[in-house]
């Protein structure tokens, strides 16, 4: 019988994103890919598209953008320390994420916390910050 090894040459992109711990579930990864929030080599792909070592993956999570190079392909989800060995984040991506975090530290957009239609109090807060 054939045995399945832990390292593979390629796997589905949704499975890789889940195993690399970018998403909690494969269905969340699939949904993000279908919405175009995940790019492989600067192109939109479908969830069943294969990923191999050396590919560039761009993941848009909320306000963060991760640009990583695939280092390893694993067929199972492991610990966080193992997941971090599956990819290497680019220097530009790290710098951009740190810059966004630093700017949020000093100024937080009031409307970023709102969900749905703003209340009267929320609108007053928005108007106050604009003037």
Do the beta carbons of residue 88 and residue 69 sit within 8 Å?
yes
* Domains, the chain, with CATH or none: 1-89 (3.10.290.10), 94-131 (no CATH)
Residue 130 has pLDDT above 90, yes or no: no
Give the separation between CA 106 and CA 44, rounded to whole angstroms: 34
pTM of the model: 0.75
CB–CB of 47/13 below 8 Å? yes
- Count of CB atoms within 10 A of residue 23's CB? 20
Give per-residue pLDDT as tens, 47-84: 999 999 999 999 999 888 999 999 999 878 999 999 99
Which residue has 């790019």 as its token pair?
39
Q: Indicate whether 112 pLDDT > 90.
A: no
Q: How far apart are CA 83 and CA 21, in angstroms?
A: 6
Q: CB of 71 within 8 A of CB of 77? A: no
């Amino acid at each position: 019988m054939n045995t399945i090894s832990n390292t593979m040459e390629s796997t589905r992109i949704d499975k890789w994103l889940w195993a690399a711990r970018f998403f909690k579930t494969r269905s969340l990864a699939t949904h993000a890919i279908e919405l175009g929030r995940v790019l492989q080599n600067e192109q939109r792909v479908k969830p069943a598209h294969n990923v191999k070592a050396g590919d560039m993956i761009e993941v848009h999570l909320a306000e963060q953008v991760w640009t990583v190079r695939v280092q390893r392909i694993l067929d199972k989800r492991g610990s966080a320390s193992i997941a971090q060995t599956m990819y290497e984040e680019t220097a530009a991506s790290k710098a951009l994420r740190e810059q966004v975090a630093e700017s949020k530290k000093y100024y937080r957009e009031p409307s970023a916390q709102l969900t749905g239609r703003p209340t009267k109090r929320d609108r007053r807060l928005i108007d106050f910050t604009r003037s």
